Chains A and B, each alone.
Chain A
Amino acid sequence: MNRRWHPSLVIGLVGTAIFLALALTSLLWTPYPIDQIDLARKFAGPSPEHWLGTDFFGRDMLSLVMAGTLTSFVVAAIAVAIGMVIGVPLGLIAAAWGGPVEWLVLRVNDFLFAFPAIITAILITALFGPGATNAMIAIGIFNIPVFARVARGGALSLKSLDYIGAARLAGMGNWEISLRHLLPNVASLLIVQATIQLALGILAEAGLSYVGLGTQPPATSLGLMLKDAQSIFLLHPWLTYVPGLSIVLIVISLNLAGDGLRDMLDPRLKREGLANAAA
């Protein structure tokens, strides 16, 4: 197996690391406080004081992008965690037990696929009001069937192998086989899928915040910056370029990292992959 570092993996990881570093820095320091309103300097273009200019409240765009990137990453990462923690056990259980259990898991999957993130977010917002948590839960619920499917698919291809049969002969039960043999062997598949879902999560968070179902002020996210720019973007297009391009760069980086990881971890997997991207 070729374990050389794939160029797209390097580019992807470097890009992701840059944005992640910017996001984490915002916890300790931003060039200006993101809630500092200074109407005298609103709509300023890029300058030595404000590298990316200022928005309609005179807030520093670079500071907003840093803090917004953090929100976007956190929302997407928690959504991936929700999807993995619930989806992976479901997928492994379906593969290890088979029969009616598998049937039930597949039906649950079908059911969850009927709820794209936006629909779940609409329901949660109607119930509890808007907030970033809604976006995490809504995207997380949509991630569950994705991870369940990947885990089950990977585990099924292992199930007929000799060492699983040997484990069964040695007296291992379904639980032990799932944990000791299936999970470690599908881990690489899951990591690749997690990268892709992280990218999709960042896109989904942006969409939800843009329509007002996600992050709310005074917090900020890249999607919320685009929502703020919506009513004035014909006059001040710059305000949409900055957060929009940030999203594009983050998502490209994550997708490149995912593609590279997939090729590096298992060249046979090249042919699969994008099936989940449309979700």
Chain B
Amino acid sequence: MSLYLLRRFLGFAITLVVAAAAVFFLLDRLPGDPAQFILGINASPDAVASLRNQLGLDLPLWQRFTDWLLAMFRGDFGVSYTQSAPVAALIGERLWVTLPLAGFAMVLSMAIGLPIGILAARRRGSWLDTGLMLLAQMGIAVPNFWFGMLLVLLFSITLRWLPPGGFTPWQEDFWAALRAMVLPSLALALPQAAILARVMRTALVDVQNADFIRTARAKGMTLGEAVWRHGVRNALLPILTILGLQFAFLISGTVVVENVFYLPGLGRLIFTAISERDLILVRGAVIILIAAVTASMFIVDVLYAVVDPRLRGGLQP
């Protein structure tokens, strides 16, 4: 394991712990005693005190934080007051909607965005290039949840091809679940595809102008060969940066787009928890979201090292 990766991993771990601390202490500022909340207003002070003791609420703040953090590593996120179920189980169930949704959207955005970017770069300056980049400019400006509404109107109401919303669990009917994912992942993928197309085009255009491509051509390669053998790796770096940011964006995007399609994902769990003031549940779900975002950035750092051999020796880019 190189020094670079070790450093990046440490950064990832520290970010995660500091973020967890921020979330924990912020939500701890809240007025109201969870023990009192569980037992109701009429509970005797003794009963409340003993429940506080049982829940560990009378321990010092720092100790509660470290206990909570260590418990999370064991997969114990606490128990939701309102749903009287373990938070980890509630979140785990919802992740079966949120993660596939973000994953499909990621794949779709690459499948749409990268070829468009490559095409535009190859026909640089042509009408096709201008047209595609105008489309991309529009794609970036469309709110994903509004695009979702438009997709429902077209594919569910006018054409009647796909369900307008709702979700059947994967184990009940795999194909129905997959069909329910099509429109939401398209809605999420469009703005991302537009961004990817623009970045891919710029990266390829830049590479074509690079000195090492000119040298390769001077040695007798065609532009296509030179770009393929020497350029693609270099063009990959900006694409990787964007993909990392994108996954983070998609994860938080699912929270919004779920609402259009009435999907039972993490977002709807969080909004219900907020309205019912179930802070243990909010806290657990937010930590999971932050972990997903941070982890995707760390994975990009790892991929950098795979693509760029300079990094493996421990140099900074």
Contacts and interface: CB of A to CB of B under 8 A. Distances in A.
Contact of B142 (A117, A118, A248, A273): A248
Q: How large is the interface on B (under 10, 10 to 19, 20 to 34, 35 or more residues)?
A: 35 or more
Nearest to A206: B143
A252 interface: yes
B206 interface: yes
A108 B286 CA distance: 19
Given A126-B274, A255-B141, A271-B206, A244 B289 contact: no
B246 A278 contact: yes
Contact of A122 (B16, B143, B282): B282
B315 interface: no
B17 to A, nearest CB: 10
B255 A211 contact: yes
Interface residues of A, number: 45
B15 A275 contact: no
A94 B3 CA distance: 23
A123 B26 contact: yes
Nearest to B262: A230
A133 interface: no
A210 B19 contact: no
A51 to B, nearest CB: 21
B270 interface: yes
Contacts of A233: 149, 152-153
Interface in A35-53: none
Nearest to B18: A111
Given A207-B145, A275-B242, A278-B242, A111 B15 contact: yes
Interface of B: 11, 14-16, 18-19, 23, 26-27, 29-30, 137-138, 140-146, 149-150, 152-153, 157, 164, 192, 195, 198-199, 202, 206, 238, 241-242, 245-246, 248-249, 251-253, 255-256, 259-260, 267, 270-271, 274, 277, 279, 282, 286, 289-290, 293-294, 297
